């Protein structure tokens, strides 16, 4: 364990913060990432229906296997093409 002295104004919490979440999805493109677990597609199909009904754009992605983290190229592609991503775990 290492200790650092905080170089900032200390206005933010000391722990590492997740990226800010979008407050509104209107006009945004939402990525739907299937991690390749069985029946993940069923779950994502239903999510996509609901999102499209709300007028959102969606894009589908799939990890080659659920046993490993997503390849860097796939993560870069999602980051370039989408404003938000929903990763689905199903079984």
Partner 1 sequence: MTLIAVVKEECETCRLIVPVLAHLQSALGLEIHAQDNPDFPKSLQVTDDTELKYSWQQRIETVPTLIRLDDAGNELERTFGWDRAAWESMTSEKLDFELPAFRPGCGSMTQDPGMPEKLAARYDMEKLQARQLTIASEEDEMEACFDRGWSDGLPVVPPTPERVMRMLTGTHRDPAEVIGVVPPDLIPCTIEKVAINAVLAGCKPEYLPVVITAVEAALQDEFCMHGLLATTYYSGPMVIVNGPLGRAIGMNSRGNALGQGNRANATIGRALQLVIRNVGGGKPGGVDRSVFGNPGKYTFCFAEDETNSCWESLAVEKGFTGEDSTVTLFAADGLQGIVDQKSREPDSLCRSFAAGLRVAGHPKMVLASDAILVVSPEHERVFRLAGWSKQQVKDQIMELLMIPGEELVRGAGGIAEGLPEQFRDKTLPKFREGGFNIVRAGGSAGMFSAIIAGWGASGSTGSTPVTRRIALT
Q: Which residues bind partner 1 (CB under 8 A)?
A: 1-11, 14, 16
Comparison of 8 and 53: residue with beta carbon closer to partner 1: 8
Closest distance between partner 1 and the C-beta of residue 10, in Å? 5
Comparison of 18 and 38: residue with beta carbon closer to partner 1: 18
Comparison of 19 and 91: residue with beta carbon closer to partner 1: 19
Among 52, 55, 25, 39, which Cα is nearest to 88's?
39
Phi-psi region of 73 (alpha: psi -120 to 50; beta: other; left: phi over 0): alpha
Among 24, 76, 85, which Cα is nearest to 55's?
24
Closest distance between partner 1 and the C-beta of residue 12, in Å? 8
Residue 33 corresponds to which tokens in the numbers above? 């990432």
């Amino acid at each position: 364990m290492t200790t650092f002295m905080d170089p900032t104004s200390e206005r933010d919490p000391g722990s590492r913060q997740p990226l800010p979440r979008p407050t509104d999805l209107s006009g945004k493109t939402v990525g739907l990432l299937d991690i390749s677990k069985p029946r993940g597609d069923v779950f994502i199909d239903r999510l996509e229906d609901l999102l499209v009904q709300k007028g959102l754009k969606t894009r589908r992605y799939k990890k080659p296997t659920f046993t490993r983290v997503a390849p860097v190229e796939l993560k870069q592609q999602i980051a370039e093409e989408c404003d938000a991503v929903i990763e689905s775990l199903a079984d």
